[in-house]
Amino acid sequence: MATLQSLDIRRRSASTEAPPQVRQGSLEVAKLIDVSKCIGCKACQSACLSWNDLVEPVGFFEGSYNNPPDLTPTSWTVMKFTEYEKGDDLEWLIRKDGCMHCDDPGCLKACPAPGAIVQYANGIVDFVSENCIGCGYCVKGCPFNVPRISKTDRKAYKCTLCVDRVAVGQAPACAKACPTQAIYFGSKEDMLDHADKRIIDLKSRGYEKAGLYDPPGVGGTHVMYVLHHADKPSLYAGLPDDPRISPLVGLWKGVLKPLSLAAIAFAGVFGFLHYVTKGPNEVSESDERKGDDLAGGKGA
């Protein structure tokens, strides 16, 4: 998607331009997924397919209620069901998986294509397909294993947090469709407040470790969860306990990038000096003849 006029870009992948300065006070948004209210009905999944005009192929039953079993280039959100035995009791933990819209997005940091991944001032991280080169670095950069590369067009896809809806003051399609208000959307501040209330309720029902999932390792996220077991996020279909951007991305952006830039600069400077001291490359008569022979004797 191209830029939306009302959404200022905070960051662009592989670019150094300064963000626009005129508009101030853009509200940071967040989606709050209250896992304790989720019944796994997949209305969000259906709304996502529908709003974004995505056609996921009909799959097979593969042993659980997860359908499709994982995120795909056309399924930007999927419900993940985990059966968790706690002593004599059972819990069916149902988590809506998808892009977390990290405040410090590993995908954007890893992306080498200028402007293929942007972060808006409101916190939404979005893929700009026309700039995507399909290299898959975003996949490596994501601590939540979210982006998927399409085999058809070699572009990366993921949840846009319905940036097109948010830009015109609407909640994301999933939040709109959720029948039990397990998905809230609003300013990040309001969502944090709401999460506090939900956590108090959950603690009163015996979930002593109830809490918010807003992992600091990625600067916090613009998609957050209320979890009954916030001490063990990985119970919820492998939600990372302490997500961080892969050190490889850090290496590439942090140490390797200046080194590589230095190497490029060095090559340039060396070439120039070489030209100055040695002059341009000269082609001898014998070189020309050898070249003609190689080209089948048809050279000029």
Partner 1 sequence: MTNSWNDIKNADVILVMGGNAAEAHPCGFKWVTEAKSNNGAKLVVVDPRFTRSAAVADLYAPLRPGTDIAFLMGVINYLLKNDKIHRDYVKAFTNASYLVKEGYKFEDGLFTGYDASKRDYTNKSDWEYQFDEQGMAKVDDSMSSPNSVMSLLKAHAGRYTPEMVERICGTPKDKFLKVCELIASTATGERTMTSLYALGWTQHTTGAQNIRCMAMIQLLLGNMGMPGGGVNALRGHANVQGITDLALLSTSTPGYMVLPSERETTFADYMKSRAFKPIRPGQTSFWQNYQKFFVSQQKAFFGAAATAENDWAYDYLPKFDTGYDTLKMVDMMAAGQMNGLFCQGLNIMMAAPQKDKTRAGLGKLKWLVVVDPIETETARFWENHGEFNNVDPKSVQTEVFQLPTSVYVEEEGSFTNSSRVIQWHWKAAEGPGESRSDIDIVAGLYGRLKAKYAKDGGAFPDPLLKLTWSYTNSASPAPAEVLKEINGYVVQDVTDPADPTKVLLRAGQQLPSFAVMTADGKTAAGCWIYTGVYTDAGNMSMRRDASDPTGKGVHPNWGFAWPANRRVLYNRASSDPNGKPWSERKKYVFWNGARWTGADVPDYGPLVAPDKSVGPFIMNPEGVGRLYVRGVMREGPFPEHYEPMDAFLENPLHPKVSVSPVARIFAADAKSFGTPDKFPIVATTYRLTEHFHYWTKAVHGNAVLQPELFVEIGERLAKAKGIKDGEWVEISSQRGAIKAKACVTKRIRPILVNGKPCDVIGLPIHYGFIGLARKGYATNTITPSVGDASVNTPEYKAFLVDVKKTSAPAASAMA
Contacts with partner 1, residue ranges (CB under 8 A): 36-43, 45-46, 49-50, 55-65, 67-68, 83, 85, 89-94, 179-182, 198, 201, 204-205
Question: Shortest gap between Cβ of 74 and partner 1 (angstroms)?
Answer: 9
Question: Shortest gap between Cβ of 151 and partner 1 (angstroms)?
Answer: 18
SS3 156: strand
Q: CA–CA distance from 169 to each of 7, 23, 126, 172 (Å)?
A: 11, 17, 17, 10
- In DSSP terms, 186 is beta-bridged to 30
Give the pairing type, strands 125-127 and 148-149: unpaired
Question: Shortest gap between Cβ of 64 and partner 1 (angstroms)?
Answer: 7
Q: How many Cβ atoms are within 10 Å of 8's Cβ, its own excluded?
A: 17
Q: Supply 290's token pair.
A: 């050898």
Question: Shortest gap between Cβ of 193 and partner 1 (angstroms)?
Answer: 14
Question: Shortest gap between Cβ of 175 and partner 1 (angstroms)?
Answer: 13
Distance between CA atoms of 38 and 181, rounded to whole angstroms?
Answer: 8
Whose Cβ is closer to partner 1: residue 93's or residue 223's?
93
Q: Contact 153/57 with Cβ under 8 angstroms?
A: no
Question: Shortest gap between Cβ of 205 and partner 1 (angstroms)?
Answer: 6
Q: Contact 38/198 with Cβ under 8 angstroms?
A: no
Question: Shortest gap between Cβ of 187 and partner 1 (angstroms)?
Answer: 20
SS3 264: helix
Q: Concatenate the DSSP letters of all residues of 63-103 into one string.
A: SSS-SSSS--SS-SEEEEEEEEEETTEEEEEEEEEE---BS
Distance between CA atoms of 15 and 19, rounded to whole angstroms?
Answer: 10
Q: What is the torsional sign of CA 37, 43, 45, 49?
A: negative
What DSSP state is assigned to residue 181?
Answer: S
Whose Cβ is closer to partner 1: residue 175's or residue 249's?
175
Whose Cβ is closer to partner 1: residue 44's or residue 121's?
44
